[in-house]
Amino acid sequence: MNNKSYVKNNIVYPYTEVTQNIRVSVNTNYLSDQSEPDKNLWLWSYHILIENLNKSSVKLIDRHWKITDCTGYIQEVKGEGVIGKQPNIDPNNYFEYSSGTPLRTSSGFMTGSYGMKWHNNEYFKINIPTFSLDLPSSNKIIN
């Protein structure tokens, strides 16, 4: 469930969700200088913060993204780790990274999950909060 904005290290994360006492927070940015609307290409970056609020360490094993554009077209991305890493996250510590995604329309949203392992190698999944990819000038409609 999305909560109110969360702030850490002077970054505002408008999207945040806690699963298994692990908080995943997301901040997005439209990359106007790299987008080419006349070629149906809109690019966004996103910054992810994963905080381990548990008393034991966890390891990020894999990811599964669903990226949906405003026409309803869904692209799925699955793979090991994130940005080529499978980080261990110690108790009361965090891991953060930035990545990006293209869309063929001017707006959409992303959602997904991370596969994790506890220190005893038990596998589990945590939610990535659903977040919107909207042009800064667009009106956001919340249902």
Enter the pTM of the model. 0.90
- Quick one: pLDDT at residue 143? 43
Q: State the Cα–Cα distance between residues 93 and 23, nearest whole angstrom.
A: 11
- Average pLDDT, consecutive stretches of 10 residues, N- to C-terminus, the chain (143 residues): 70 93 96 96 96 97 97 96 97 97 96 96 97 79 48
- Quick one: pLDDT at residue 5? 77
H or E segment and range at residue 125: strand 123-134
Question: Residues with Cβ < 8 Å from 120, sequence gap 6 or more?
Answer: none
Question: Sign of dihedral through CA atoms 75, 3, 93, 116?
Answer: negative
